[in-house]
Amino acid sequence: MLDSVLFYFFAGIAIVCAAMMVTRRNPIHSAVFLITTLLATAGIFLQLRAEFLFGVQIILYVGGIMVLFIFVIMLVRLDAPLQELRFTFQRWVTAFVALALVLEVAVTFLLLRRLPGQGSLVLRAVPADRLPPNSEALAQSLFSSYLLPFEIVSVLLLVAMVGAVVMAKKR
Amino acid sequence: MMPAGHYLFLSLALFLIGAIGVVTRRNVIIVLMCIELILNAVNINLVAFSRLYGDVAGQAFALFIIADAAAEAAVGLGIIIAFFRNQETVFADEMDILKW
């Protein structure tokens, strides 16, 4: 019961704020709504018992990436874009993308319903009190099964850091 | 736990809103933010299935995706700053210097 209340609370916030983010005129407002969406997603991670990802989401996404975005929004000139057009005129492309994705999901759910005994993917999840400690399990998995991808991610971050510095540098 | 379909629908809704934002918005910074939203929607999916199957691998992949999003944001914003310094615009439909 509490689970579903929490889920609908966070999901509602996430979806409403995401829609607001796409439609706002001022980029700063968009950024603040995106921050709210990301925080609501962090709440959903917590509701799914992914405590480590909850922390990472808040520290890295909200604390790191979004601060970077707001810095850049304030760095580029803000007053001129305010009166101008928000959207490009690509209504047909938009309609096509939306239609394709909705159709894909409808077909998926129709096919799922045909599977015996698994309407809407109601499988029996592991009970919450029998889950292993989240950070510990994640560390085990990261440093044993996924050690190579982990190292590759570190190289990727290094490359991105150097690339960002080189690109934003004054020459 | 809730039926996994609800998480899929939430993830789909966020993905759709993000995709529509990427296609329609003019401001490139907001397009980048919509891409972050899309990556976030994917993360919800991964974590929901990780919980459903009791396997922590999905969360490991979500962690990789978050690192990837950070790298993408850094490089993308670097490009935007460099472009703004040269062309004085952040609008997608005015970025046509490769067209002739």
**Domain A1-83 carries which CATH code?**
1.20.120.1200
Q: How far is B97 from chain A (nearest CA, A)?
A: 17
If contacts are CB pairs under 8 Å, which of residues 65-94 in chain B contact chain A?
66-75, 77-82, 84-85, 88, 90-93
ipTM summary value: 0.91
For B91, list phi and psi in degrees, rounded to 5: -95, 135
Nearest CB partner across the interface for B60, out of A27, A91, A142: A142
Q: Residue A165 has what DSSP assignment?
A: H
**Model confidence at B12, in pLDDT bands (50, 70, 90)?**
confident
**Model confidence at B55, in pLDDT bands (50, 70, 90)?**
confident
Average pLDDT score over residue span A130-140: 83
Do A40 and A17 form a contact (C-beta atoms < 8 A)? yes
In chain B, domain spans: 27-92
In chain A, domain spans: 1-83, 134-171
Alpha-carbon torsion (A50, A51, A56, A57), positive or negative: positive
**Model confidence at B61, in pLDDT bands (50, 70, 90)?**
very high
**Higher-pLDDT residue of A117, A165:** A165
Rounded to an integer, what distance in angstroms lies between the CA atom of residue A97 and that of residue A105? 12
Contact criterion met (CB < 8 Å) for B51 and A125: yes
pLDDT at B36: 94
Q: Which residue of B has its CA nearest to A98?
A: B16
Q: How far is B18 from chain A (nearest CA, A)?
A: 8
**What are the angstrom distances between the C-alpha of A11 and each of A3, A116, B96?**
12, 29, 38
Q: Using the predicted structure, report yes or no on whether residue A51 has a pLDDT greater than 80.
A: yes
Rounded to two decimals, the pTM is 0.86
Q: Using the predicted structure, report yes or no on whether residue A123 has a pLDDT greater than 80.
A: no
Do B80 and B90 form a contact (C-beta atoms < 8 A)? yes
B42 touches A at CB < 8 Å: no
